[in-house]
Structure 1
């Protein structure tokens, strides 16, 4: 017998460990990792690497190959009689290979890289913001599943109580203490409970499938959703990723301003050209010749019709726009936090009333239970009181879940 008990305990323990569990924090983590939008972060990183490599090629020698063949209607002639200098051919040919090496461009290349890096950080933070906003959707699904889960437990308790009461009633009918057909009323109520189980299970499965699709993790009706004890501190100091996004946008503008200031900087290049053609560099030698030139050149756009100043003014306006967006976001979030705090305080007050009502309902049901046993009331009257208690307990469970949801949403709004 002892061995049988040990085997039963071992099986029960294994089943407990085998059952899948999931928490609200795990759902947050999984949706930020597995939601399709999360893949964009790595794609943006790869794109940045390609852009950076393309920009860095400006530091490398640039080669160009040119070839041409021309026929000229007239050529240079030396206007000296009886000279041995032959006039140039009217058909001329030339092929050249040129190399240009950037020596100095005022830091334009590095400024371009910084702008690209700032753009990458801004885009990645925008993805983080979009993923963060999914957390409230996760909250709604998770706590709805939790409510269905808790409602099932409550309904099972009601079912067990009715089944126990049915046995008592059957025994009472047998001995003539309770009126005949009282058991039929209880059996009908048990059938209603079976219908309620089916409805609860169907709704729960639909919610679980939606959550499973969002977080890309297999979940089913057997998964245990742990009830989190959400803690909330009513402080309106924000830690939202949107605030970091606004700051990164301003940093991107600052780098863009630096890039604009360097676009008019002088550019110094070294160059070399080698070629073969007729004529070569010696215009008086009418034959095919190899030739080359080397040197340095300076390019400086000293006047741009005030274009750069206008671009700076446009960027300054963008900064002001971001400041107003930041201010509006903080205001709206503060209003939302205050609204959510009032909701939490309201639900806490309702829960206190729920508990007082349930205590009274339990006393009434206890009296009804005693009256049913003595044949003073019918099964219908007993079921009415039991149903009243069950509905009030269901209301309490719903309010407790709503309180947890409100607290979780408050934390998400605050950025905690």
Structure 2
């Protein structure tokens, strides 16, 4: 019976045990979720919609165009035939004239204007999307700062636990010595003060961690438990990889936009052909000497060519070339500045690597000094203040080591962010 109850309890508690498992989250997962849930991501769909609407409107250029017009006018003088033939009445035009016209035109060839505008629309959409990608890329840096901020706090909390354990051990030692009359109550009080100080630091760090967790939750649009465990990122890095920042693709898309604008200059300097048919009703009709209201129709082929655009053609090409040269200069400047940043970060990585080697030696020495201090205190030749200084010095060395480790990792990911890989 007891066995059955035990099994039943295990079955009931199993979901609770699953639920109580500590949440784990990685840096890459945070970066992906932050990008997918950032409000600016919706701009992608808006850019695509705008492109589709513009392309759809451009496609309608080759649909028949219908226009309706009307006019009523009065003129002070009309055309007359300056010849009088006896017995023959030559009619005169009326000074008041009226007409309503309906015209249908069909574009045959617009010199490539519609095609060039379509290319510009597509190129502009690609450029705007890539510019958006640049803005979204900056989120990675914010996520890195929050993530490594939390990891740094976690390391400091671990060192506080080590310090608390050390102080508690010595507190118990002093308590035992106090019972034997070989220690003073003030020594015990000194350790209690240090324990209270560690509690204060723990409260400060825990509060700061909760704030960082909440900010990270807002970015990834997902609730993160305060007890969540952040997976330590790997320290692999390849300094030989080329710069692959989204800004470089943005410069490429902008250059393609300028190239598509060149085709517009060529298109607007070409002639345009269209068919047209016009029907009208008015006075006079096509016969100017007939003063009756009449219907009429006209049809044919129309040519239009704005030759005046040829005057500015060369300068328009030069302006676009100037913009392309300016863009190339911006790209070179960006690459130069990025390489300077990478060199600086690489030096930081090397620096932290060297510091961590020294940290190990310092901790070993500080530990030996602390152990020696504890031995001296037991033998009554060392003051509690001196021992507490040794304990704090060792803890400070451990905290410094953990900070250097986090700074080393963060520098690696700063390098990857700056590199774009």
Q: Tell me if both proteins adopt one fold, taking TM over 0.5 as the criterion.
A: yes
Secondary structure, aligned partner of 2:234 = coil
- Counterpart selection for 1:67 from 50, 65, 70: 70
Residue 274 of structure 1 is matched in structure 2 by 279
Residue 409 of structure 1 is matched in structure 2 by 414
Q: What does residue range 25-40 of structure 1 map to in structure 2 within 5 Å?
A: 25-40=28-43
- Counterpart selection for 2:128 from 113, 123, 129: 123
- Counterpart selection for 1:365 from 363, 367, 370: 370
Residue 54 (str. 1) matches residue 54 (str. 2):
no
- Counterpart selection for 1:243 from 244, 248, 265: 248
Supply the distance in 1 between the matched residues of 2:78 and 2:197 (Cα, whole angstroms): 110
Give unmatched runs, 5+ long, in structure 2. Answer: none
Mark the CA change 1:341 to 1:16 in structure 2 (over 3 Å): closer, same or farther. farther
Supply the distance in 2 between the matched residues of 1:157 and 1:195 (Cα, whole angstroms): 15
Residue 199 of structure 2 is matched in structure 1 by 194
Supply the distance in 2 between the matched residues of 1:260 and 1:87 (Cα, whole angstroms): 50
C-alpha deviation, 1:158, in angstroms: 1.9
Residue 393 (str. 1) matches residue 384 (str. 2):
no
Supply the distance in 2 between the matched residues of 1:399 and 1:98 (Cα, whole angstroms): 80
Worse-matched range after superposition: 261-270 or 67-76: 67-76
Q: What does residue range 28-177 of structure 1 map to in structure 2 within 5 Å?
A: 28-77=31-80, 79=83, 80-83=85-88, 86-177=91-182
Check the 8 A contact 2:151/2:230 in 1, yes or no: yes
Quote the RMSD (CA, aligned, Å). Answer: 2.7
C-alpha deviation, 1:135, in angstroms: 2.2
Mark the CA change 1:376 to 1:13 in structure 2 (over 3 Å): closer, same or farther. farther
- Counterpart selection for 2:333 from 323, 328, 333: 328
Supply the distance in 2 between the matched residues of 1:385 and 1:292 (Cα, whole angstroms): 108
Secondary structure, aligned partner of 1:304 = helix
C-alpha deviation, 1:373, in angstroms: 4.8
The alignment's TM-score, normalised by the length of structure 2, stands at: 0.90
C-alpha deviation, 1:215, in angstroms: 4.0
Supply the distance in 2 between the matched residues of 1:176 and 1:320 (Cα, whole angstroms): 87
Worse-matched range after superposition: 64-73 or 300-309: 300-309
Supply the distance in 2 between the matched residues of 1:362 and 1:199 (Cα, whole angstroms): 26
Worse-matched range after superposition: 154-163 or 258-267: 154-163
Worse-matched range after superposition: 396-405 or 311-320: 311-320
C-alpha deviation, 1:330, in angstroms: 1.5
Supply the distance in 2 between the matched residues of 1:305 and 1:294 (Cα, whole angstroms): 30
C-alpha deviation, 1:269, in angstroms: 0.5
Check the 8 A contact 1:68/1:94 in 2, yes or no: yes
Check the 8 A contact 1:177/1:374 in 2, yes or no: no
Secondary structure, aligned partner of 1:133 = helix
C-alpha deviation, 1:374, in angstroms: 5.2
- Counterpart selection for 2:386 from 381, 386, 397: 381
Mark the CA change 1:384 to 1:6 in structure 2 (over 3 Å): closer, same or farther. farther
- Counterpart selection for 2:360 from 352, 355, 364: 355
C-alpha deviation, 1:115, in angstroms: 0.9
Supply the distance in 1 between the matched residues of 2:26 and 2:388 (Cα, whole angstroms): 37
Supply the distance in 1 between the matched residues of 2:286 and 2:16 (Cα, whole angstroms): 97
Mark the CA change 1:85 to 1:354 in structure 2 (over 3 Å): closer, same or farther. same
The count of aligned residue pairs is: 415
Residue 283 of structure 1 is matched in structure 2 by 288
Supply the distance in 2 between the matched residues of 1:357 and 1:315 (Cα, whole angstroms): 62
Secondary structure, aligned partner of 1:162 = helix
